[in-house]
Structure 1
């Protein structure tokens, strides 16, 4: 999931910012690259805590959704691409039944789109997408 990051340069030349979709998620760094790296760490800490508390993972919105926010004026935008699968909890093995032709299509698709890693990763990502629609 790509979380928008809002950054601004301080008078000293360093950068600080926040993640508009994750309340209280702040970060800073001496350079813009360092600040973005720190944003990844801050997001990880927030999402790990959120998952431990059994709370829903915040949904990343587009930058456009934040453009009129008074706190997001005069700075710059970046993204942090976060794999939220690790906050879903421990993997549980299950036995499901799918039609052979559908399974073959899934396997071909996953073979061409390595970002899913496996057919389980593919099915899990589709489930996450569908569940976000109802949240």
Structure 2
């Protein structure tokens, strides 16, 4: 999974996020954690849009490489530098083959009309609990 450098700036009651590798990809959040989450979502959608338009996705650059370019639009003063992973946009699904015990499938079928939807919802809930 690729990780891209993001610069966060704290202004007033919010954090702004910019990606030097993707001019024009910006986001914001009410707090640091929210800015990271919103930044990851903005990056995913920005890259998805580039892919739809047939544009090349740049390889992640190091901090030294970014600073060496001297891009004048990048605001370095008081910036918090972090890495944000490039995740697929949340609405993109991928077909997978999963083996489950028959007993578990019977229980799922008894309460849900859609196994995939049920399993996706259960996985999302498990991930939320683990990240809390």
> Structure 1 length as normaliser, TM-score?
0.56
**1:1-135 equivalence runs, <5 A:** 1-10=2-11, 12-67=12-67, 69=70, 70=72, 71-74=74-77, 75-83=79-87
Q: Which has the higher contact order (CA 8 A, sep 6+)?
A: 2
Mapped partners of 2:66, 2:33: distance in 1: 22
Cα deviation for residue 66 of structure 1 reads 2.4
| Unmatched runs of 5 consecutive residues or more in structure 1 | 85-89, 91-135
Q: Which has the larger radius of gyration?
A: 2
Report which of the two has the higher share of helix: 1
Question: Between Structure 1 and Structure 2, how many residues are aligned?
Answer: 85
The two structures, once aligned, show a CA RMSD in angstroms of 2.1
> Structure 2 length as normaliser, TM-score?
0.57
